[in-house]
Amino acid sequence: MAQEMTGEELRRYREQRGMNQQELVTWLNERLNRRYDRAKISRWETGAERIPQLVASALKVAGEPVGIPAVAVRAAPLVFCAANQKGGVAKTTTCVNVAWLLATTDRPASGRRVLLVDCDPQANATVHLGVDPHEQELAKATLTHALKSTRPMREFVVPVCDGAFDLLPSSISLAATDRELLRQPNGTLVLRAKLAQLAGHYDCVVLDCPPHLGELTVSVLNAADQLLIPTQTEMLSMMGIPQLFETIAGVRELVNPNLQVLGILPTMYSPRRLQDEQVMAELRELAAAQGLRLFSPVKRAADYAKSVMAGKPGLAVNPNSAGAESYREIARALLDLARLDSAKQEVRHGA
């Protein structure tokens, strides 16, 4: 008896070939003369229904789906996020500046394609980059609409910073989406499925999280490869980290075993303040106990707040802003991981 195909195997086949669920439906219906729909694919992938042997046989031919040659495989982007349930810890500043550095640091001749997805209903990253959330909402061109639409995710992006990278904007309507995801079966997997459509279109995707551990943040963790934990050097910011570790453990066990913690980033650091030095000492102990990298602290600087008025990342306005080297450390670490992942995918697919 032939071995059954699991939902995870089906999803991996689809994502590695840059297909969304509707494209897989079309492919199967044409070849098998069936009338499957996207809901059926979702139930197969989540394990709610067993995948028919007819479908498994059509997909499994020498390890490759019939009619979809290996050369059509499109590399998945490296997905990075910054999360902390405490607000005001410079998550958005970090994501905006890291996206800028990923797009502009040692840029290859062919270009490096970077997308920043604003997953926060407050739309801070959207505003920071000079995009009007209200206009985007009226145009139905925000993450809220991208998550609900059958159109490809890339149709909702806008270029920012003179085309250096792209932004998928947010707006206040995303707050309702957080509640809707809680009511949907497998709602926290929607973002992950949508981002899978970006294979071959972006090299790196940066996700800016909301300042709490709700369904949107869980959705981001379900979709991410690398997580950075920014924390202000004060006790309230640090107190949320243990709970975040618990959430990470649950995500790894149930959905995303590949999620890795890139490290901890101290922010808004004032070396002259005794409290900041005490928190830094505790962060060093925490990082050592968890086996995590502690990035150089980002000192308080007015440059980052001023850059919002310019609609650009702080480092695009002043490359020598305080904390610039910390953000460069993060970008270099991510670029190293992206290059390593790309090399592995080339070996895997015989490129």
pLDDT band at 73 (very low <50, low <70, confident <90, very high): very low
The helix or strand, by DSSP H or E, that contains position 207, with its residue range, turns out to be strand 204-208
pLDDT at 346: 53
| CATH T-level topology, domain 78-348 | Rossmann fold (3.40.50)
How large is the average pLDDT for residues 81-96? Answer: 91
Spatial CA neighbour of 83 closest among 325, 288, 263: 263
Cβ-based neighbours of 229, under 8 Å, separated by 6 or more: 82, 83, 84, 241, 244, 261, 263, 264, 265
Residue 341's φ and ψ, nearest 5 degrees, are -65, -40
pLDDT at 158: 95
Strand-pair partners of 294 = 264
Strand 204-208 relative to strand 165-168, pairing? unpaired
How large is the average pLDDT for residues 98-115? Answer: 86
pLDDT per residue over 20-42, tens digit each?
787 888 888 878 888 898 889 88
pLDDT above 70 for 170: yes
pLDDT per residue over 198-253, tens digit each?
988 999 999 999 988 888 999 999 999 999 999 999 888 888 898 899 999 999 99
Locate the domains of the chain by residue range: 7-72, 78-348
How large is the average pLDDT for residues 73-78? Answer: 76
Angle between helices 38-46 and 7-16 (to 10 degrees): 120
pLDDT at 135: 96
pLDDT at 263: 97
pLDDT at 345: 56
How large is the average pLDDT for residues 271-285? Answer: 92
340: region left, alpha or beta (phi > 0 left; psi from -120 to 50 alpha)? alpha
- 23-32, 185-194, 290-299: range with highest mean pLDDT: 290-299
